Structure 1
Amino acid sequence: MEFKSDIQKALDVAIDNYFIDFAKDNSVSLRVNNAGDFNSEKITIKGQNRQIIDKINGDSLSSASIPKASDSLKMLNNIRDIYISINEDSINFTKLKGLLNSELDRKNYDISYKLNHLKNDSIYASSRTENFTSGDFTVQGKSTYLKSRESIELLFPNAIIIILKKSLFSIVISLLLMVCILFALFYMQWVIKQQKQLSEIKDDLISNITHEFKTPISTIGAALESIRYFNTNNDIEKTNRYLDYSDQQLKKLETMVDQLMDTALLKTENWILEKRQVNIHNWAAEIIDNYKMNAQKKAILLNISKDSKSEAYIEPFHLGNCLGALIDNAVKYGGDKIEILIDNGESLTLQVIDEPGHLTKNQSEKIFDKFYRVPQGNLHNVKGYGVGLYYVKKIAEKHGGTAEVILKNNSTSFIISVPNE
């Protein structure tokens, strides 16, 4: 850990400087000018008006380190300079703390600490005698100037807080980078998901358009082939019937192309609806009658509220297409009973209810998306390419209204609500 390493180095440098300064201030030197006058039996050294060393003789020398004291004393006859350094058993904590504070300041650390002088693993002296909460962080000096089985111990509280303050900038940068990386990962995942959905929608759209366009094209081709090769008797009635089939299929193709073009047109801001006053009952009844002819097995009921106004200010063609799209959707996917409720007050509300409900909550949230179709696997029993309900929503918004779907009591309700200005 960088913090502990910095404190360790600061303590070791302070201890080294302490003993170096102590050696300079607490050493004396002796020069013998005349070897003949040197008395090896007794040496007295004085300094600063006090006697520092009383006597050096054979009895005062350690026999453990000098085998023969007499031989060692004879060596003094050849010595001209003698340097003597004096050691102390105690540590001057004031001086050591001054050196340590300088090192800590240099490393930009402002901490409260305590120093212990240990001998044989026991506290010999301490820099502070009052109560001091040291916490769990301790550093011991490793200076080579310390005697054997002697050490200087540094203790200080709130190591975690100090580390956090020192590393705050690095922590903040790391967190920001982590947040950026996580954001990038989630964004990339979202983009991949969106691209996958778009790819699925594209494939589904191509498949649906292919099936939708292929049917009228095949019908027209079959009708023309019948007229060309199998109407050898020039039967006018049969020819006209085949031509009617072709005309119907061409109109169907035209309708599908127009619907796709209208969907593209909805994105433009320049398209303005041409609104006018319309009799709601006649307008809705005409639309519903067209679908009753193609859905004879299903009951389509129209109910207009008693308090409804007779006329509404709307764009009848496109809003009529919206009502037709909802009815067509109910005919394709709903049950045998389809109910249309109309309430024409301050706003015009068109509600198409079919039973049983066929949508899930997840599907209902996407039902108005462009090109979305309820998944049916590879089946194409129900024709369409997913722009009908998208068209409904956009036309409602062009009127300044809304389009929504409500799932309730095993039924599906599509509701268009537009202002009746």
Structure 2
Amino acid sequence: MVWLVASLALALQLFRIWDTYTSLQQKFHRDIKTALDRAVEHYYLEYGTRTISIRTDFFEKLNEIDEGIPIPKEPSNSKVQRQGNELEKEDFTQNNLAVVKVSNDTVNMLLLKGFLENEMDYYGLKGVYSISHSLRGIELNKIATGNISAQGYNITSDTREIPLNHRIELTYHPDFSYIFVQGGIEILLSMVFLLLFIFALWKLYSTAKRQRDLVTLKNDFVNNLSHEFKTPISAAKVAIEAAQNFNPENNIEKNKKYLATAGNYLDQVSDMINRLLEAASFESESNVLEKIKVDLVKLVEGILKESPFDHHSNRIEFFSNISSVNIQADQFHLKRSLVNVLDNALKYGGQKIIIRLETDQNEVSLSISDNGPGIAKEQIPKIFEQFYRIPGENLHLIKGHGIGLFFAKKVIEAHNGSIELNLKNGWTNFIIKIPKVS
């Protein structure tokens, strides 16, 4: 329901932005059409016609000459002369003249362009355009302010000042600066609101996904931990019951064997609890490391002589380019971190585990590589997350809590070091780097 409402709100906001933009674009088209009509009208009123004056009795006199009808005259020659002079003067007065306006067939495109630019300035319009003048479909003249593509808009002036069969056409591209000047604040605010809304949706989705992943990890961890606690506790209980019920002769050696078995299983439970507490202490950063000078070569060699790694000596090889190298470290926690990484290689690796220790001027590099099946590349960024285990595997067949590598990363980073995982040539490689000391 939440996502439906969010989708509708997002669609509404997008529609609002589009509606505002299209309204401003339509206003732009209307304004430029008005500017063209006004420019054409002003041009034709001032320059589009020429004026011719003729005598009003010009055609009547032509008719009298053609018909041979004499013009009536006064009997007296003096009157004829006087009346003739008066007629001559009267013929050139305004009352005896007819003013005839004749339209020009050509248009001065520079003058028309000037009128158009004045109108465009008035409306705040800019952009590239061209004006053409045609007569009966034949283009007579054209002027352009730049390159006009085929996608330009075409409008024709329909002012009544244009002579019959003449056509003034304007081709232009939309002026986006005009659109944003007219409605820039509204569009900008809408875009900002839209981006904030999208960001809020993304945060909501990521938070919900994170919570869902945490719930899944928690459930997997609890189920796996319950199984791992239940197994040794049940085995310890069986050993104790055996000492109580299956030793009627009260054989002390047999009781010691039963109790030792129970103690081993309880040690496993204690070890798991200690790991959880250590991980929790490093997560809360409440743990204080007690750093001393530690020989890393001897530390690794000592780990390999302990259980369970001593039982897999045929699978593990250790190479070092130096016999001794010192680092400043909390030996207990660093040892547990290296044990976690090696234990991970034993559980998930193949038949070969190679450990290499190399040094340079400033740091020690310890690589732990195995030729096991590896992991998918998309899982690599998550491998060091707390409680994370690779999905799809049978979590009950391979023991683990999803905290070993998390704990190792926390401890190594607390030593100003780093740990990373890479896949190369069929090998899974954990690379640990720690600063060395003299």
Task: Select 1:165's aligned residue among 159, 174, 177.
Answer: 177
Q: How does 1:197-276 map to 2 (within 5 A)?
A: 197-226=213-242, 236-269=252-285, 271-276=287-292
Equivalent-residue separation in structure 1 for 2:43 and 2:365 (angstroms): 93
Cα deviation, residue 121, structure 1: 5.4
Equivalent-residue separation in structure 2 for 1:99 and 1:312 (angstroms): 85
Task: Select 1:321's aligned residue among 333, 336, 339.
Answer: 336
Task: Select 2:427's aligned residue among 411, 414, 421.
Answer: 411
Task: Select 2:403's aligned residue among 355, 362, 387.
Answer: 387
Q: What is aligned with 2:67?
A: none
Which piece of structure 1 moves more, 411-420 or 95-104?
95-104
2:312 equivalent to 1:287: no
Cα deviation, residue 388, structure 1: 0.9
Q: How does 1:58-97 map to 2 (within 5 A)?
A: 89=103
Structure-2 change in CA distance of 1:331 and 1:144 (3 Å): same
Q: How does 1:128-147 map to 2 (within 5 A)?
A: 135=148, 137-143=153-159
- The answer to whether the Cα contact below 8 Å between 1:351 and 1:413 also exists between their aligned partners in 2 is yes
Cα deviation, residue 152, structure 1: 5.7
Structure-2 change in CA distance of 1:412 and 1:134 (3 Å): closer
AA aligned opposite 2:400: G
Equivalent-residue separation in structure 1 for 2:266 and 2:92 (angstroms): 126
Equivalent-residue separation in structure 2 for 1:119 and 1:20 (angstroms): 19
AA aligned opposite 1:314: A
- The answer to whether the Cα contact below 8 Å between 1:15 and 1:141 also exists between their aligned partners in 2 is yes
Which piece of structure 1 moves more, 279-288 or 184-193?
184-193
Q: What is aligned with 1:58?
A: none
- The answer to whether the Cα contact below 8 Å between 2:416 and 2:435 also exists between their aligned partners in 1 is yes
Tell me, what secondary structure is at the counterpart of 2:217? helix
Structure-2 change in CA distance of 1:309 and 1:49 (3 Å): same
- The answer to whether the Cα contact below 8 Å between 1:18 and 1:99 also exists between their aligned partners in 2 is yes
Tell me, what secondary structure is at the counterpart of 2:305? helix
Cα deviation, residue 168, structure 1: 4.8
Cα deviation, residue 280, structure 1: 5.1
AA aligned opposite 2:120: L
- The answer to whether the Cα contact below 8 Å between 2:337 and 2:411 also exists between their aligned partners in 1 is yes
Structure-2 change in CA distance of 1:153 and 1:332 (3 Å): same
Tell me, what secondary structure is at the counterpart of 2:397? coil
Residue deviations 1:94-150, cap 9 Å, x none?
999888666534321257878777776567x98x8x888795654323346777x45
Residue deviations 1:247-293, cap 9 Å, x none?
3233222221221221122134453321223455654444322225x
Cα deviation, residue 205, structure 1: 2.0
Tell me, what secondary structure is at the counterpart of 1:358? coil
AA aligned opposite 1:167: I
2:411 equivalent to 1:399: no
Task: Select 1:308's aligned residue among 323, 329, 338.
Answer: 323
Equivalent-residue separation in structure 2 for 1:354 and 1:416 (angstroms): 15
Structure-2 change in CA distance of 1:131 and 1:195 (3 Å): closer
Tell me, what secondary structure is at the counterpart of 1:377? coil
Task: Select 2:95's aligned residue among 21, 27, 51.
Answer: 51
- The answer to whether the Cα contact below 8 Å between 1:113 and 1:155 also exists between their aligned partners in 2 is yes
Equivalent-residue separation in structure 1 for 2:35 and 2:352 (angstroms): 89
- The answer to whether the Cα contact below 8 Å between 1:308 and 1:344 also exists between their aligned partners in 2 is no
- The answer to whether the Cα contact below 8 Å between 1:309 and 1:345 also exists between their aligned partners in 2 is no
AA aligned opposite 2:94: R
Structure-2 change in CA distance of 1:152 and 1:211 (3 Å): same
Equivalent-residue separation in structure 2 for 1:208 and 1:175 (angstroms): 48
AA aligned opposite 1:331: L
- The answer to whether the Cα contact below 8 Å between 2:374 and 2:423 also exists between their aligned partners in 1 is no
Which piece of structure 1 moves more, 5-14 or 320-329?
5-14
Residue deviations 1:203-251, cap 9 Å, x none?
3323322222221232234345545666666555444444333332332
What percent of counterpart residues are identical?
Answer: 29
Which piece of structure 1 moves more, 101-110 or 208-217?
101-110
Tell me, what secondary structure is at the counterpart of 2:289? coil
- The answer to whether the Cα contact below 8 Å between 1:208 and 1:385 also exists between their aligned partners in 2 is yes
Structure-2 change in CA distance of 1:144 and 1:197 (3 Å): same
Q: What is aligned with 1:334?
A: 349
Q: What is aligned with 1:77?
A: none
Tell me, what secondary structure is at the counterpart of 2:311? coil
Task: Select 1:354's aligned residue among 362, 366, 370.
Answer: 370
Equivalent-residue separation in structure 1 for 2:121 and 2:128 (angstroms): 12
Tell me, what secondary structure is at the counterpart of 2:306? helix
Give the CA RMSD over aligned residues.
Answer: 4.7
Equivalent-residue separation in structure 2 for 1:344 and 1:18 (angstroms): 88
Query: What's the TM-score, normalizing by structure 1?
Result: 0.65
Instruction: Give the structure with the larger helix fraction.
Output: 2
Tell me, what secondary structure is at the counterpart of 2:428? strand
Equivalent-residue separation in structure 2 for 1:104 and 1:131 (angstroms): 15
Q: What is aligned with 1:65?
A: none
Structure-2 change in CA distance of 1:18 and 1:399 (3 Å): closer
Q: How many residues align?
A: 362
2:372 equivalent to 1:368: no
Cα deviation, residue 371, structure 1: 2.1
Q: What is aligned with 2:19?
A: none
Equivalent-residue separation in structure 2 for 1:246 and 1:190 (angstroms): 46
- The answer to whether the Cα contact below 8 Å between 1:405 and 1:412 also exists between their aligned partners in 2 is yes
AA aligned opposite 1:166: Y
Q: What is aligned with 2:33?
A: 8
AA aligned opposite 2:261: Y
Equivalent-residue separation in structure 1 for 2:283 and 2:36 (angstroms): 74
Structure-2 change in CA distance of 1:137 and 1:391 (3 Å): closer
Structure 2, gaps ≥5 residues long: 1-24, 52-89
Cα deviation, residue 383, structure 1: 0.3
- The answer to whether the Cα contact below 8 Å between 2:156 and 2:168 also exists between their aligned partners in 1 is yes
Q: What is aligned with 1:71?
A: none
Structure-2 change in CA distance of 1:48 and 1:380 (3 Å): farther
- The answer to whether the Cα contact below 8 Å between 2:321 and 2:359 also exists between their aligned partners in 1 is no
Structure-2 change in CA distance of 1:252 and 1:154 (3 Å): same
AA aligned opposite 2:30: S
